[in-house]
Chain A
Amino acid sequence: MEPIVATTVSVIAAATPLLLAANGELVAEKAGVLNLGVEGMMLVGAVSGFAVALTTGSASLGILAAALAGGVLALLFGLLTLGLMANQVATGLALTIFGVGVSSLVGAGYVGTPVARLPRLDLPGLSDLPVVGPLLFGHDALVYLSVAMVALTAWFLHRTRGGMILRACGENDEAAHALGYPVIAVRFGAVVFGGVTSGLAGAFLSLSYTPMWAEGMTAGRGWIALALVVFASWRPWRLLIGAYLFGGVTILQLHAQGLGLFAVPSQVLSMLPYLATILVLTLIATGSGRGRLDAPACLGKPFHPPA
């Protein structure tokens, strides 16, 4: 029992950054904006969170800084793509490259320095229960936040008028404009939300998953998060399943490496999560064609408001 519980706990940890980042990207894409800069925003979030937590000694301030940094980067993306009508794909790629550069510049002095891990929210009594205790209780705040965020997003998108307007902007920008909704403003909001949660995902990595800073420590998780949005066919609850599935694959390969289970080089096993990403995307694209139809109709298209 003990190893299974321990493995599951590590799956939760591996899934959390994916879930946070993918959830934000889902909201942005629902509004019609494709931001490929998730990886960059996560890295900048990770380094800002780490630096602030280390220098102030406050994990909360670190988390706040990470959210802010991710939001600022997203705001920059918004200015370029929504304000100046720059191409979303190119700008998103540039944002990732920018994020990689800035984070290693800022983080150069911190490499190898440890920081206190985010405190676990232990509930006396409950956390000590066998099996259930470690599974449900005793995680840190960001783990709970990631799940709460999914519930909140699902509720907002499908149960509120605001969510309906956001989906309308992603589905048919010109119609939304003709009915009098501020398409650009809605998209700005969605993009910045996506940046904030990507920043939080970065903070989770540098403050909880491995409490330290290393260059490029996101290791492609931003790209997996992007793939997860497609995998979940833009539905928040499916994102939860997808993120835990990918978290599972990550942990599985770690254990397989540790135990020397397969007679293959460890590098091949490290590739597993990324191979799974490619596999999922290919299956969705070739399957019944449903995947394409779930996508918001205006995804990635710039909107020029008529004079």
Chain B
Amino acid sequence: MTPAPSRLELRGITKRFPGVLANDRVDLDVRPGEIHALLGENGAGKSTLVKIVYGVLQPDEGEIFWEGARVEIRSPHRARRLGIGMVFQHFTLFEALSVGENIALGLEERLERGRLERRIREVSESYGLPLDPGRDVHTLSVGERQRIEILRCLLQSPRLLVMDEPTSVLTPQEVDRLFATLRRLAAEGCSILYISHKLEEVKALCERATILRGGKVVAVCDPRVESARSMAEIMVGTAIRETARPATRLKRAPRLVVDRLSLAPESPFGTPLREISFLLRRGEIFGIAGVAGNGQDELLAALSGERPVAEPGMIRIGEARVGRLGPAARRRLGICVIPEERNGHAAVPELSLAENALLSAHARLQLLRLGFVRRRAVAAFARRIVERFDVRTPGIEVTAGSLSGGNLQKFVVGREILQNPEILIAAQPTWGVDAGAAAAIRAALLELAERGTAVLVISQDLDELLGLTDRLAVIHAGRLSRSFETRQVEIGRIGMLMAGVEEPVPAEAG
């Protein structure tokens, strides 16, 4: 008896972009009913490879075999007809359209509205993924949005489901539910190609892993027997410096006091901040966990000074009441901020690295004289960032937008840290950054706290917060829970708070 052919087999797939070899003779083999991990750093070629599998891109060389037969996947339509479904990392959803319309757009079959809605209800109930087809997407949570993408695939009974970093935006409970769905699909014979940065998840879920580095396959292994560390080292190609768990630094003087901070949202889809209170002590790292869209952006804008708040006393730095001050004045008082969005918020993509360094550092580092730019001082500062934070760039005159996400993030983090802030506020500091850069950024934050800076990290990545912070609290629907000592916290409890199950009690004001 011959063994069943692979569900999907790639042989020698090569894809070139101008100046980059994104995939270099990649072989990949996914068996029927298998959950197969595709691992690699940012820029290792994972996204390119799955886009080729889904017909969004065409390979320059190489062959694709589907259940033993050679195929060419010229378009996503063709991929869907073969039985390949894909859940994208950045959701391919249309906010102003309804759930039903979003699903219809991803289907090959044309069903009339009533039948489609019935089938959506059937499949969503059978997999425990409740969704109302009539709702508009912009009213849904991130987890619900992902369900749309998954249902869109399930409705065509896929035989291969590609998932690109599906858990980066989910609560722990939502992750558990997703894994249950995936395991059930695999048991029913559907193969799953699972792309993730989170190695613990891969160990829990996947049977085999293909690891890419620099566009090449560097290993195929069994994640259940490998350690997360060993897989990370294969991905990066060098040993990774682990960040040590911080010693407790709890009884120090408060640096930043946030006292019953409330703020109306700027847009109808924003979240209002409701009586947020916390204090940030010298030398500690305080974490705020939460699912995206629960007030994190508004909180960052209120703290940075982008949006002044009603009462000056709602935000205090030492004795100074700063609630009505703008960003430059607050920077002079010692608050530096690393926003989540690198392009367009933390950095201006069209400007050079040197100019971007000037933009946030002029107030604290005296980079202006009588209103004129001190070009040499600016260049020296930018070069210092590049050297100290290992930013891989041809020079400081290249535009910020030309750097990869991880390198630009290192630059932005370095720019703020080298201003010696009294208080540093970082939103999603390692979001979309590869393992090596993420470790470097975490180490830099720890070192900064060690030197006495008060650090606030707002992140959706709970693992990161658990490894980095001394205390943490959860933001949900614009309210902040009480704070927990990170060492003693139960993850389940945090997960419930993130999902809004347990009503958070307002924190004690300092």
Contacts and interface: CB of A to CB of B under 8 A. Distances in A.
* Same complex: yes
Interface stretch (B89-97, B303-311, B391-399): B89-97
Interface string A48-60: 0000000000000
A288 B104 CA distance: 32
Given A171-B97, A175-B94, A180-B75, 20 more contacts: A161-B110, A164-B101, A167-B96, A168-B101, A171-B94, A171-B96, A172-B93, A174-B92, A175-B91, A175-B93, A177-B56, A179-B92, A179-B105, A179-B106, A180-B55, A180-B77, A180-B80, A288-B268, A297-B96, A307-B17
Contacts of B75: 180
Given A180-B77, A307-B17, A293 B97 contact: no
- Main SS at interface, chain B: loop
Nearest to A180: B76
A168 B106 CA distance: 11
- Main SS at interface, chain A: helix
A290 B266 CA distance: 11
A112 interface: no
Interface residues of A, number: 24
Interface in A258-307: 288-290, 292-293, 296-297, 306-307
A178 B76 contact: yes
A171 B95 contact: yes
B97 A164 contact: yes
A296 B96 CA distance: 8
Contact of B104 (A164, A174, A181, A307): A164
A135 interface: no
A183 to B, nearest CB: 12
A307 B110 contact: no
Contacts of B101: 164, 168
Contacts of B92: 172, 174-176, 178-179
A236 to B, nearest CB: 15
A252 interface: no
Q: Which interface residue of B55, B57, B76, B96 has the most chain A CB atoms within 10 A?
A: B96
B96 A306 contact: no
A229 B88 CA distance: 33
A165 interface: yes
B76 A297 contact: no
A293 B268 contact: yes
A180 B92 CA distance: 11
A179 B268 contact: no
A307 B52 CA distance: 11
B268 A167 contact: no
Interface string B55-92: 11100000000000000000111001000000010011
A181 B97 CA distance: 16
B97 A167 contact: yes
A172 B76 contact: no
A301 B269 CA distance: 22
B488 interface: no
Top-6 shortest CB links A-B: A180-B76, A175-B92, A171-B94, A180-B77, A178-B92, A180-B75
A164 B110 CA distance: 12
A175 B106 CA distance: 10
B268 A289 contact: yes
B126 interface: no
B238 interface: no
23 contacts: A161-B110, A164-B104, A165-B105, A168-B94, A168-B97, A171-B95, A172-B94, A175-B93, A177-B56, A178-B56, A178-B76, A178-B92, A179-B76, A179-B106, A180-B75, A181-B105, A289-B268, A293-B269, A297-B95, A297-B96, A306-B57, A307-B17, A307-B57
Nearest to B269: A293
Interface in A95-142: none
B267 interface: yes
Contacts of B55: 180
Q: Which interface residue of A172, A174, A297 has the most chain B CB atoms within 10 A?
A: A172
